[in-house]
């Protein structure tokens, strides 16, 4: 009888441990991180989520949202000299070439073209400075209290920062825009002689992944904003300064779907 009780108790303990393991909050190498339900905003996991940080090319989430909200993707623009030769990741735009806004948007979010960011800013508002004002007005409208934009591309600047929590909130809103969602979920895009592949490896590696944006500078570290959908549930994960971001995001998203 005692032996049977011990066996039953051991079985219950093992089951409890498995349940705890399945639902234990994920551990990440990130300086800051957050996982939210993209529809309800519910926070499922957080780590230093309100710490302000450089955000590198995840800045382009706001740039892309403003273009998607405002511009006709079929419209065409002529590349101006100020959009040529921007440092960092690039589409290698040439002065005087004519491209559609849609192709520049794909170049912005798949190739992470800093030159595409400048070209789009110029198209919408005439110059970078006016576009940055628009970015900051939109951030205020969306309640992103710990976010400030200093440029449309995310190259390091003391005036360009956000938090994991604000990036998740921004992304949740942006994914409600059809054009934005289509662009960031696209794996490859070809126009003219350019063939682009999305830098977001989760689109190939993670079941249900729908985007969103990578970022990196030496000062900011590796930054990743990802989103995935399964069975009607949309999750958004953000990590800032995380050298193991692909694996961490997979664990975070798995954890979130286990809770849904």
Catalytic (active-site) positions:
57, 60, 112
Rounded CA gap, 176 and 239, in Å? 21
Rg over CA atoms, the chain: 21
CA distances from 181 to 11, 216, 226, 253, 259 (A): 46, 22, 12, 18, 24
The runs of H, that is alpha helices, within the chain are 2-23, 60-70, 101-109, 114-125, 128-141, 164-174, 178-184, 202-205, 245-259
Backbone angles phi, psi at 142, to 5 degrees: -85, 0
DSSP character at residue 185? T
* Residue 138 structure tokens: 């939109």
CA distances from 179 to 28, 186, 220 (A): 31, 11, 28
Which residue matches tokens 């909200």?
69
CB 223 within 8 A of CB 239: yes
CA distances from 238 to 228, 247, 259 (A): 12, 12, 18
Which of 259, 248, 260, 258 shows the shortest CA–CA distance to 34? 248
CB 39 within 8 A of CB 234: yes
Rounded CA gap, 111 and 137, in Å? 26
């Amino acid at each position: 009888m005692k032996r049977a009780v011990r066996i039953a108790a051991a079985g219950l303990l093992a089951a409890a441990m498995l349940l705890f393991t399945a639902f234990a909050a994920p551990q990440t190498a990130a300086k800051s991180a957050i996982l939210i339900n993209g529809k309800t905003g519910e926070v499922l996991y957080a780590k230093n989520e309100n710490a302000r940080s450089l955000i590198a090319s995840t800045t382009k989430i706001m740039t892309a949202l403003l273009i998607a909200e405002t511009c006709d993707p079929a419209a065409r623009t002529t590349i101006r000299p100020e959009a040529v030769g921007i440092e960092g990741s690039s589409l290698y735009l040439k002065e005087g070439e004519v491209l559609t806004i849609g192709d520049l948007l794909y170049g912005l979010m798949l190739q992470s073209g800093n030159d595409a960011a400048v070209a789009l800013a110029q198209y919408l508002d005439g110059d970078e400075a006016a576009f940055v004002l628009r970015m900051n007005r939109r951030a205020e409208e969306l309640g992103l209290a710990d976010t400030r934009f200093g440029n449309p591309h995310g190259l390091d600047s003391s005036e360009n920062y956000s938090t994991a929590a604000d990036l998740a909130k921004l992304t949740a809103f942006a994914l409600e825009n059809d054009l934005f969602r289509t662009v960031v979920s696209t794996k490859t895009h070809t126009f003219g002689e350019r063939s682009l592949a999305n830098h977001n490896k989760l689109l190939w590696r993670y079941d249900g992944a729908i985007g969103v944006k990578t970022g990196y500078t030496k000062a900011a570290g590796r930054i990743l904003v990802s989103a995935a959908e399964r069975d009607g549930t949309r999750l958004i994960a953000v990590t800032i300064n995380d050298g193991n971001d692909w694996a961490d995001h997979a664990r975070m998203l798995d954890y979130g779907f286990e809770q849904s």
